[in-house]
Structures are given as C-alpha cells and as structure tokens.
Structure 1
Amino acid sequence: MTETATPDAAPEITLEQLSGAYAMRAKFYMHMFDVLRDEMGADKAVELIGEATFRLGEDMGQKLAPHGPANVEGLTEQFLAGIPCRDHLFAPELRKCDAEGMEIQFHRCPLKDNWVAEGREGEELEMLCHAAGRIDAGMFGAAGFVFKGETWKPGRTGCCRLIVEPGATEPAE
C-alpha cells in the first residue's frame, strides 16, 4: 500500500534540491542575458534583466514592509531568517545592525558560484551580478527602506554587500 501526502504536509527540501533550483535560476539569468545581449547589446540586456529582477524584489518586499520605514533591527532579523540554507549558500556576515542602518556582506552566492562554474568571469560576471542584484533594491525599497548596496566587481572577494538605511517617514500633521 502506498502512502499519499496530505495537501497540508510540506515536503522536505534537501540542500541538493535547493542548490539545483538556484543553479536553474542562474542558468536562466545567464541564457536570458546572452539572448538579450545578442539582440540589443550588453547594456540593454543588463537594464532589462535588472528591471524584471527589481520588480520581483518589489513583490518579495511586501512581506518585509511591516518593518518600514525605520525598524532596521526587525527588518534584518526577518530578512536573515528567511534565507534558506543561508550559511551554506550565502555565508552572510552581519557587519552592522542598528537604528542607523544595516550592512551585510555575503561571502558566497549560489548564482555567482554557478556562473563562475559555467566559465563566466570579469566584466560579464559583473554584469550578471548587477542585473540579478537589482532584486535587493526592489525588495528593500518596497519595504520602505533606502537601499545602497553594491554587487560584486572584479578584484573583490565574496559577493554582494547589502546596505540598508531607514526610509523617509511621513511628516506629522
């Protein structure tokens, strides 16, 4: 007799499955970049992928919006808690978290790791990171914060550095 899962039962996701999902996402970005670059040039490819990724981030930022525009500590806690297999896949280093803002340095990124494994490097890798990294600007902006992060550039170690500051508060009437 076979067992059937109830609709409410969440399946266990393995690190291998999650890594595979990130690898597929990385390949999608990479192939989309190649197609758009061939048709429109590299700058336009980065712009278009970046805009789509920014919009995805805006959707994701809705769950963080209750912390906006100034609860940096709450934002940081929820953001870090929501990263699946965060230490293995991203290795975030929380460098700052106070009322003035948050800074997180990612030492790994499954997207970048996959692009490097595919032979992408230098300026091309930087462009892919920039386009994919727009997700953070969309996410933190939609949550009501100011995003000032940086994506990876040649010569740097690690990956993205997220810098988030409180957003504007409405003046009292």
Structure 2
Amino acid sequence: MREHDANTTWSSLNDANKARAGVYVEFFRSIEQRFGRDAAIQVTREALYNWGRSLAGGLDRHLPADFAGLCKSFAFAPDGGAMFSPDVSRCSDRELDVHFKTCPLKSAWTEAGLADQDIELFCSLAAAADYGTLEAAGFKVDIETWKPGGDGCCRLHITAP
C-alpha cells in the first residue's frame, strides 16, 4: 500500500473510532435522560460488553500461552499500534501487561470538551468492550481505566483463565 493510501486509511479508521466515541455519549445521555444515571451506566456497559464479545473471533487461538500472538492480534491491532500506542511492559507465556498511551475515544471526548469526570466514566464504560472481547476469547482480564491526572489511557493485565 502506498504511503498516501495508508495515511488516508489510518485517518479514516481513527475518525471512525472518534465517531464511535460520540455515539457512546449520545446513547448514554439519551438513556440517562429517560431512565436515570444508574440505568444508563448499566445499559451502556452491558451493550458495550456484548458488542465486544462479537469482536473476539480468532483470539482464542492464542490460548493458553501465546501471549506474544495475542499482543500482536489485540494490543497492536488494527494498525500495528499507531492508533493506541501500546506500551507492553510484560509479555510472557503466562500474561500480557499493556498500557495504551493513546486512544481515539478518549481524544474525541477531550476534543468535545467533556469534563475529566465524564471522560473517566466513558473510559470505564468503553473498557466493557475489551472485557467482552477478551473474556469471550477465553482470557481473564483486569483493566485499569484512565483517571484524571493519569497518563495515556487504559492498562490491561491479561492472563489465561
């Protein structure tokens, strides 16, 4: 692929992820307005978890101990790491620890002027998709999402069940 085509593709993919961030906010706010904040949190988290489960296809091939493969297939997807800037601190035959330094969702919420507390909430909701993906593939995952004053975005600790 030519460099211009690759840049255009990356930009389109990044923009699509930022648009997804906007959809999360609009759905959440509509649910919150109609049914209250607690219901909005619960429904949004459930929907994103279920959507994430649909993205698990093929990741189970890395069970039980191919965390290097999982790193490539998950942490560095979809573009070799450009979009999420993964910083892998541990990748062994038992676990994978990765800190995503950038995130188009978080960037979109920041660019939209959301308060830090709202960005923190939406990061925690968005993590449900990763929980769904990795758990559906058979992995155990613990995610520490971004908090105000923190660097980068989320940190994932992934192990075999």
Match of 2:23 among 11, 20, 28: 28
For residue 152 of structure 2, what is the aligned residue in structure 1?
158
Report the secondary structure of 1:114's partner residue.
Answer: helix
Q: Give the length in aligned residue pairs.
A: 156
1:14-53 → structure 2 map (5 Å cutoff): 14-53=9-48
Matches of 1:16 and 1:66, distance apart in 2: 30
1:93-104 → structure 2 map (5 Å cutoff): 93-104=87-98
Which of 71-80 and 140-149 deviates more? 71-80
For residue 70 of structure 2, what is the aligned residue in structure 1?
75
Structure 1 residue identity aligned to 2:146: W
For residue 115 of structure 1, what is the aligned residue in structure 2?
109
**Cα distance, 1:118 vs structure 2:** 0.7
Q: Is the 8 A contact 1:70 1:166 kept in 2?
A: yes
Following TM superposition, where does structure 1 have runs of at least 4 consecutive aligned residues deviating by more than 3 angstroms? none
Distance 1:85 1:98, change over 3 A: closer
Matches of 2:133 and 2:116, distance apart in 1: 27
Report the secondary structure of 2:131's partner residue.
Answer: helix
Q: Which structure 1 residue ranges, 5 or more long, are not aligned?
A: 1-10, 168-173
RMSD over aligned CA atoms reads 1.8
For the pair shown, the structure with the greater C-alpha radius of gyration is: 1
Matches of 1:131 and 1:113, distance apart in 2: 15
**Cα distance, 1:85 vs structure 2:** 5.8
Is 1:143 aligned with 2:140? no
For residue 84 of structure 2, what is the aligned residue in structure 1?
90
Which of 78-87 and 27-36 deviates more? 78-87
**Cα distance, 1:151 vs structure 2:** 1.3
Report the secondary structure of 2:57's partner residue.
Answer: helix
Matches of 1:16 and 1:76, distance apart in 2: 23
Report the secondary structure of 1:70's partner residue.
Answer: coil
Structure 2 residue identity aligned to 1:64: L
Q: Is the 8 A contact 1:72 1:166 kept in 2?
A: no
**Cα distance, 1:20 vs structure 2:** 1.9
Q: Which structure 2 residue ranges, 5 or more long, are not aligned?
A: none
Q: Is the 8 A contact 2:49 2:131 kept in 1?
A: yes
Q: What per-residue deviation string (whole Å, max 9, x for no partner) do you get for residues 61-101 of structure 1? A: 122011124332222222234322622x2111011100221
For residue 7 of structure 1, what is the aligned residue in structure 2?
none
Q: What per-residue deviation string (whole Å, max 9, x for no partner) do you get for residues 117-155 of structure 1? A: 111122211111111111111111111110111111122
TM-score (norm: length of structure 1): 0.82
Report the secondary structure of 1:105's partner residue.
Answer: strand
Aligned-residue sequence identity (percent) comes to: 32
Matches of 2:152 and 2:76, distance apart in 1: 20
Q: Is the 8 A contact 1:96 1:102 kept in 2?
A: yes
